Structures are given as structure tokens and as C-alpha cells.
Amino acid sequence: MQIALRRLPLMTAALESEFERIRHDAGLTVDETILRPSGDDLRATLLPSRLEAQGSAAPPPLSLEQAYARYMDDPTHRWSPSTRQAYETTRKFAVGIIGGEVAIEALSRAHCRDYLDMLRYMPRNASKRFPKLSLKAASDLGREREDIELISAANANSHLANFSSFLNWAVNEEVIVRNPMRSLRLPDTVAKKDKRHPFSAQQLQAIFNAPLYRGCQDGERGYAKPGTERPRNARFWVPLIALHTGMRLNEICQLDTTDISEIEGVQCFVVSETSLVGETDKSLKTGASERLIPLHPSLIACGILAYVEAQRRAKRVKLFPDIDPGPRGKRAVAFSKWFTQFIRSCDAYQPRTSFHSFRHNFRDELRAARIDHDIAMVLGGWAIGGNSSIASENYGGGHGVGSLCDAITKLSFAKIDLSHIIDKG
């Protein structure tokens, strides 16, 4: 008996240690049976109220609006300004349609399907065209009236993809356990090849024989009226550069005067986010967009180098200082609006064509000249194989400027006569 009493503390300690290990393995930091009072415990009437007070201190569920705010402010994002703006637009749509007060953990597949259905009938530029309507009301109006132009399936799917990215982030952050938006997309009935068309030969003739290129009243409001002025401003040069280089509109609009440079004896456009003069407004769509494009002989014949030199002598930083940067610094926005008016004024407008059509024309010229596929992809800033990180692309020094110049020189642009634009001076 005495031996048993001496061993009791040791056995009790060992048993308690084993219980502690089991509780730890089960994820229980506290044994609730220890906290539960017995019937004769004087604290029995006090402990429940204390536990209730602890329970009431639990944080309220995170709302969709709060979760989205955390997502947008996450410092790990490496978004360009345009990408951030796209995600911000999607945030407004999601919060406005689903409801910012909805608990993120309660977000269901039904919520996501309702969101998809609302986007399906959302009018284009809904907030501008119907500023007094909520997004839901605007969608209902788009569903009812056939005369209202709706956003495209591609545009709607872009919003759905952005929203799904947010929900994937929420899963990774352990805010929700699954992404209820997964795989929800609208069918896009427009074939990829039909989304944008190149300009036809007739359209190109109409564009480059407009008063702006033949002689107009002035380069501002009188650009569409015949006259004696031959302005060599942004409106004159930007379409010509797009035709001969395939550059995206914003890539052209954001050029600095230092972005035309002689490299290995060849005059080139340097398409880059880096500015040699400290500008911070430049951005590119993808990593593959950074490239060199030798100047086509036709551009040189039209006097582009003289224009560049004149801007440098005038101490201009931007090659086209007359392009309005707009409230968000996106110079392409204002120019795109003007260009739409311009092609309508010269009867060159056709469905599925826009400024981006010049890029399609450039690709067709590369095909017609039988330019090597890899060189064509480099000149246009297209990722090879749709993936710029393909292992083989990390080897070698890339294509030399001479090879790129040879390719550009082979492009004939036979569909359009620009002899009346050639600089005679």
C-alpha cells in the first residue's frame, strides 16, 4: 500500500502527459471537461456568462466588399496600372451585382450564376449611359430592350475570369474553402478569327486619301474638310506607324522622342516600359511586347525622321505631345475615340474593324512576304506558341537588328499607294 501511494504521483504525471499528447494531436489546446463546473462548484453560476462573453468577442464574418478590399490592397500583386484598373472594374461589377454585404464564406454557386446572368445582359458602358440605374437595373433594361447594345461575351468572360482570380486568392488565403465560380463562362459565338478584321484595300485607300493626308482645313476640327493644310501631327503619323510596324495603339501613343534610335546602323522604334528621360507613364501588355522594330523605308520616305528631329529640337519629351494623356494617363483612350470618328468621316468604317485592324494588316504583310515565323512573332510582340516562357526561347541571343531590318524591308504594302504622302522636302 505504501509503495502504491509513493508511485501514485509518478503515474498521475505520466497519465496527464499522455492525455496532453492526445489533446495536442487532436488539435485541442484546452480540455473543456476541466473548464466545465461540477454541480457543487461555487463558480457554476458565473462561468457560463464568462464563456458567453468570450463567444461574443468572435469577429463578425468577412463580407464580400471587405474581402475584395483586402485582395485589391494585397502588396504581392504585380499588376500594371491597366491590369489594376481592369480588376477594379470587375470589383465594382461583382460588389454591385452580388451585394457587398454578402458574407464571403456564404458565397454560393447560385450567387455566381446570378452574376453571370446579369453580365450576360449588361449594356455597354452601362454606368455612363444609365448613370441613375443600378447595375442590376441596367441589366434588366438590357434584357428587355433589343435596341440596347450589350457587352460582348468576351468582355463578360473577362470579368468572370477576374472574379474567379479573386476567389482563388480567397481560397489560398483560407477565407473560403472552395471557388464557387470555377468553370462558369458564357459561350462565345464569335469565332476568334472573326473578332477583328484587317482593313480591306478599299478601307486603307479611304483612310490614307482622306483630307488629313491629301490636304485639309487644319489638323484640329478641320481635319475632315478639304483644304490646303498638310499637318504632320499625331493624327497624321500614328495610323502610318501602326500600318508599317503593327504596334499597338498605346505603344505608339506613349513613345518618347528617345524611343527612335539608331542601333547597329539601323533606325528603330524601341518599344519598352523603360524611359531614358525618366517618364513613368509607359506600360506594355506582355513581356514579349518589349522589342525593336526597324523603321520601314516608306515611313522614312514620308519624313518620320525629320518629324522626330523637330520634336527633339523643341525639347519635347513625348514624340506626340498633342495626344491627351487623359485622367488615368492612358493616351490611347482619347486617340481611339478620335480615330473612330475619323474612319467614319472618310467612309472607311466597317463592322469588326478598328484601330487594332492595322495590327492584323501587319500580320498579313508578314505572311505575304513569307517572313520567318519566329522573326514575325518578335516584330509583332507576340509570345511564341502563346507562351513566352518556353524553355527553348531562353537560349541564344535572339534575332539581330540586321535580320529584323531585312524582314521589315520585304514588306511591300502593295494594297495602298502612299506616293502623295512622300516628303518632297
Return the C-alpha torsion angle 252, 258, 261, 263, nearest 10. -110
pLDDT attached to residue 44: 45
Q: Tell me the per-residue pLDDT of 103-120, one tens digit each, with 9 for 90 and over.
A: 999 999 999 999 999 999
Is position 48 within any domain? no
The torsion region of residue 349 among left (phi > 0), alpha (psi -120 to 50) and beta comes to beta
Is position 53 within any domain? no
pLDDT attached to residue 1: 58
Mean pLDDT of 317-339: 86
- Contact between 245 and 266 under an 8 Å Cβ cutoff? The reply is no
pLDDT attached to residue 127: 86
pLDDT attached to residue 208: 97
Task: Answer with the one of 173, 193, 213 that is the final residue of a domain.
Answer: 193
pLDDT at residue 386 greater than cutoff 90: no
Q: Tell me the per-residue pLDDT of 162-207, one tens digit each, with 9 for 90 and over.
A: 999 999 999 999 999 999 999 889 887 655 555 678 999 999 999 9
Give residue for cell 506582355.
Answer: 286
Maximum mean pLDDT: which of 139-148, 193-202, 238-247: 238-247
Supply the mean pLDDT for the chain. Answer: 84
Q: Are residues 155 and 238 in the same domain?
A: no
Is position 233 within any domain? yes
Q: Are residues 218 and 342 in the same domain?
A: yes
How many angstroms separate the CA atoms of 151 and 119, rounded?
8
- Provide the strand spans (E) within 32-114: none
Q: Are residues 378 and 270 in the same domain?
A: yes
Beta sheet of 291-294, edge-to-edge order: 260-263, 266-271, 291-294
Q: Nine-digit cell at 285?
A: 501588355
pLDDT at residue 393 greater than cutoff 80: no
pLDDT attached to residue 45: 47
pLDDT attached to residue 232: 93
Q: Tell me the per-residue pLDDT of 285-309, one tens digit each, with 9 for 90 and over.
A: 777 789 999 999 999 999 999 999 9
Report the number of distinct structural domains present in the chain.
Answer: 3
Q: Are residues 82 and 104 in the same domain?
A: yes
Q: Are residues 96 and 125 in the same domain?
A: yes
Q: Are residues 208 and 326 in the same domain?
A: yes
Q: Are residues 168 and 207 in the same domain?
A: no
CATH number of the domain at 327, please.
1.10.443.10
Is position 420 within any domain? no
Q: Are residues 81 and 187 in the same domain?
A: yes
Range of the domain at 17: 1-37
Q: Which amino acid is at 182?
A: R
pLDDT attached to residue 117: 92
Q: Tell me the per-residue pLDDT of 329-352, one tens digit each, with 9 for 90 and over.
A: 678 888 999 999 999 999 999 988
Above pLDDT 70, what percent of the chain? 80
pLDDT attached to residue 11: 67
What global pTM score does this model have? 0.64
pLDDT at residue 19 greater than cutoff 70: no
Is position 360 within any domain? yes
pLDDT at residue 359 greater than cutoff 50: yes
Q: Are residues 146 and 212 in the same domain?
A: no
pLDDT attached to residue 159: 93
How would residue 31 be classed by pLDDT, with cut points 50, 70 and 90?
low
How would residue 229 be classed by pLDDT, with cut points 50, 70 and 90?
very high
Query: Which residue in 288, 318, 294, 249 sits closest to 409, CA to CA?
Result: 294
Mean pLDDT of 62-81: 91
